[in-house]
Amino acid sequence: MKPQEVRALSDAELAQKLEDGRVELFNLRFQMATSRLDNTARVTSVKRDIARIQTEIRARELAAANASK
């Protein structure tokens, strides 16, 4: 997921994508532990997507806090 795509999502969509990403990461880690994971690079990709989403959520929180001052 590209940063522009993350910025275009609403708050509810961001929360849903974050939850989906965490579930997918859990499943990938489980597959890796049982030696069933073929594409290990997917773990890194999902981690980065989660980080991008968390960064955007935090940026929106800070922007709202600064706007209210």
What is the CATH number for 50? 1.10.287.310
Q: Structural domain of residue 8, as residue ranges?
A: 3-68
Question: Closest by alpha carbon to 51, among 43, 40, 62?
Answer: 43
Q: Which residues contact 55 (CB under 8 A, 6 or more apart)?
A: none
Number of domains in the chain: 1
Give the integer Cα–Cα distance in Å for 11 and 60.
Answer: 9
Give tens-digit pLDDT for 10-67.
999 999 999 999 999 999 999 999 999 999 999 999 999 999 999 999 999 999 999 9
Nearest-angstrom CA–CA distance, 19 and 47: 12
